[in-house]
Structure 1
Amino acid sequence: MSLNPATFALNPQGIDALRAQASRDPQTATKEAAKQFEALFMNEVMKRMRAATMESGLLENRLTQVGTEMLDQQFATQMSGLPGGLSAAIERQLSRNLPSAAPPAPAGALSGLVKETQNLPDLAKKNVPTHAARFIQQHGDAARAVAQESGLPADFMLAQAAHETGWGRARMRATDGTPANNLFGIKAGPGWKGKVAEVTTTEYINGEARKVVAKFRAYDSPQESFRDYARLLTGNQRYAQAVASAQAAPDNAAAFAKHLQRAGYATDPDYANKLARVINTTVRVQRALA
C-alpha cells in the first residue's frame, strides 16, 4: 500500500510506516522519505517567516497559534513532492545508497577470472579490496563475453567500468531512481535512439572542474553497456590507436589508457594515469583470486 505523505508528514508516528515500506519497496520508500524531508524544510521556513512577522496582539491567542501551525504544516505538505522541487534532489541523493538490484553472478560463471563468493572473507589476507572482488565477480562474465566478440581485453573493460563507477559504488541512475546500467559514462549524443538518463557530472572545462547536467545512455542490463562500449571503440576511427594498442599489447595498461585519453574519451587531464592504475589493480585482484 502506498504511503500518503499528507497523512503523516511531520508526524513522528509515520516513521514506523516508512521503515516498514523500506523493507518491502526501497525505491518507493526513498521517494516518500524525500517528500518528508522537503515538508520538514518547508515547515521550518514558514515558522521562521511567522517569527519574523510582528504580531498585532489583536485576536491572537494560543488557539489561533495552534491553528496557524496546523495550516502551515498542511501548506508544507502540499508544497512537497512537486516536480523540480527539493524532494527530487533529496531522492537522487538517497538513491545512491540503495543496494544494486542486479542479481549476484552464478557460481562458476566467472571461471578463469575469479573464484566463488565464499572466498571473499579471506581477501584481506591477500590485500585484496572486497568491493573490487565483488565488482569483478558481478561483471566479469559480461566482460569476458564481449571480449570474445570484440577482441578488447576483458581486464581493460572491467577496469574502465570500475573506474567510471567507483567499483560499482557510484552507479548512474535515471531521474526516477532506476539503474541506467551505464558502466562507462557514455553520453547520449544526437544520434542515440535508446534510453537516456540525465545526470549531474564533473566536466573539465579549460582545466577547471565544473558540475554540469548531461544526458547519458541508459541500458536494460550491464552487459548491454559492455557491448555498446566495445562498439563505440571498435567502430570509431578516433579510437583506432587505443583498440590496436589493447589488442597488440593486452598487458600494457598505460599505452591503452594514454591512447584513450588522447582520443578524447574523457576531459579529466589525469584520466590516463587513473585508468592505468585501476587496470593494474584489476589484474592484481584477479591473480589473487585465481
Structure 2
Amino acid sequence: MVNRIDTSNNFAADIKDIGKLRQAAKQNSPEALTATAKQFEALFMNMVLKSMREATPQEGLFDSQQSKMYTSMFDQQLSQTMASRGVGLADVLTRQLSTVVDAQKDGKDGLKPGSPAEAAGFSRQDLNTALGVMQIAPPAEAARTSSNKPAHVRAFQDKLGAAAEDASRATGIPAKFMLGQAALESGWGRREIKGADGTNSFNVFGIKATGGWTGKVVETATTEYVNGVPRTRVEKFRAYDSYADAFKDYARLLTNNPRYEAVIANAKDITGFAQGLQKAGYATDPHYAAKLTRIIKQSLSV
C-alpha cells in the first residue's frame, strides 16, 4: 500500500516530493500518475506566467534582481494554486499516461494498439522520465529559451534591425549594442519623442539639437540628473524622416566626435561600451551604464 502523495502546495522540484513520486511510480500507483500530471500542469502554468512577465518591459525604479526573485517565487506559488484547481492539462496527461501504467501491470513492454498514449507517442518509461525532467529543470529555468524572446523585444528588433546593421557596418559597433541603447532611450519604442502634433521624430537615441544641428527639431520634457538628483526640463531634440536616418546620425555622432573615441575603441565589449558612453557624458543618469549593460545582456544577447 502506498502512502497518499500530497504535492498540492509544493513544486515537485523539491527532492522529497520527487522521491515520493518516484517510489510510487515504481509500484504503478495511480496516485503517482495523477500527482505527476498535476505537477506538469503547474510547470506549464509557471512557464506561461514567466513568458507573460518577460513580455512586459521591466525597467522601473523599483525593479531589481531581488524583486525579480520574489516575483518568480510568487509565480511558482500562483501556478501551483492554479494547477490545484485544474485547467484541464493534468486530466489529459492522466488519461494518456494511464495506458502506460496498465501495460506495465499486464507485464507488457508496449502500449495498446490505437490507445491515446500510442497516438501521442508515449513510451512505458514516460512516467519516470517526466519525474527526471521536473527534477533537473526547475520552473524558473524551463521557460528560459534562446528562441523565446519577449514579444516587445522581437518587435523592436524587427522594426530597427536593418537600420542597426547598417550603422554597425559604419561604426564597428555591434548592432545589438545600438539596439540596446535605442531601447533604453525610447523605452522599447513606447516613449519615442514626438512633436506637439504627435509627429514622430524617429529619434530613438535621445540626441539633442545641439552641436550646430540645422535639421528639424522637436521640443519635449525630459529628465536630467543634476548632482545625482533628477530634474524635469524642456529640451530641443533632433527630428528625422526615418529610423534609418536616426541610426546614420547616431553613427556620425560617435565616429566624428572625439568625446566618443573610447566608445569606439571598446565597441566589442558590452560593459566597456556602456561605461564609455556614460564617461563621455552621453547621459546624465548615474545608472545609465548599468541599465544599458543589463538590457543588452538580458534581452538582446540570448
TM-score, with length taken from structure 1: 0.53
Match of 1:254 in 2: 271
Distance 1:145 1:281 in 2: 23
Match of 2:183 in 1: 162
1:217 counterpart (220, 233, 238) = 238
Q: Contact 2:149–2:299 (CA<8 Å) still a contact in 1? A: no
Q: Contact 2:217–2:236 (CA<8 Å) still a contact in 1? A: yes
1:273 matches 2:294: no
1:1-290 matches, within 5 Å, as: 127-189=148-210, 191-246=212-267, 250=268, 252-284=269-301, 287=302
AA of the residue aligned to 1:264: G
Superposition deviation, residue 165 in structure 1: 0.6
Unmatched tracts of structure 1, length 5 or more: 1-122
Superposition deviation, residue 280 in structure 1: 1.1
What is the RMSD computed on CA atoms of the aligned residues?
1.6
Q: Secondary structure at the match of 2:266?
A: helix
Match of 2:118 in 1: none
Q: Secondary structure at the match of 1:220?
A: coil
Superposition deviation, residue 170 in structure 1: 1.0
**Runs of 4 or more consecutive aligned structure 1 residues displaced over 4 Å after TM superposition:** 123-127
Q: Contact 1:158–1:282 (CA<8 Å) still a contact in 2? A: no
1:85-115 Cα shifts (integer Å, max 9, x gaps) = xxxxxxxxxxxxxxxxxxxxxxxxxxxxxxx
Q: Secondary structure at the match of 1:239?
A: helix
**Cα distance change, pair 154–190 in 1 and its aligned pair in 2 (3 A):** closer
Superposition deviation, residue 175 in structure 1: 1.3
Match of 1:63 in 2: none
**Cα distance change, pair 270–164 in 1 and its aligned pair in 2 (3 A):** same
AA of the residue aligned to 1:221: S
Q: Secondary structure at the match of 1:145?
A: helix
Distance 1:232 1:149 in 2: 12
AA of the residue aligned to 1:230: A
Superposition deviation, residue 147 in structure 1: 1.1
Single out whichever of 254-263 and 145-154 deviates more from structure 2.
Answer: 145-154
Q: Secondary structure at the match of 1:214?
A: strand
TM-score, with length taken from structure 2: 0.51
Superposition deviation, residue 139 in structure 1: 0.5
Distance 1:146 1:282 in 2: 20
Q: Secondary structure at the match of 2:192?
A: coil
1:208-258 Cα shifts (integer Å, max 9, x gaps) = 101100000000001111110111011011110011100xxx2x2111101
Distance 1:183 1:210 in 2: 21
Superposition deviation, residue 179 in structure 1: 0.1
Superposition deviation, residue 128 in structure 1: 2.1
AA of the residue aligned to 1:200: A
AA of the residue aligned to 1:281: Q
AA of the residue aligned to 1:228: D
AA of the residue aligned to 1:244: A
Superposition deviation, residue 190 in structure 1: 5.1
Distance 2:248 2:156 in 1: 17
Match of 2:28 in 1: none
Match of 2:9 in 1: none
Q: Contact 1:199–1:215 (CA<8 Å) still a contact in 2? A: yes
Superposition deviation, residue 282 in structure 1: 4.0
Superposition deviation, residue 283 in structure 1: 2.9
Distance 1:268 1:227 in 2: 24
Q: Contact 1:202–1:212 (CA<8 Å) still a contact in 2? A: yes
Q: Secondary structure at the match of 2:298?
A: helix
Superposition deviation, residue 145 in structure 1: 1.3
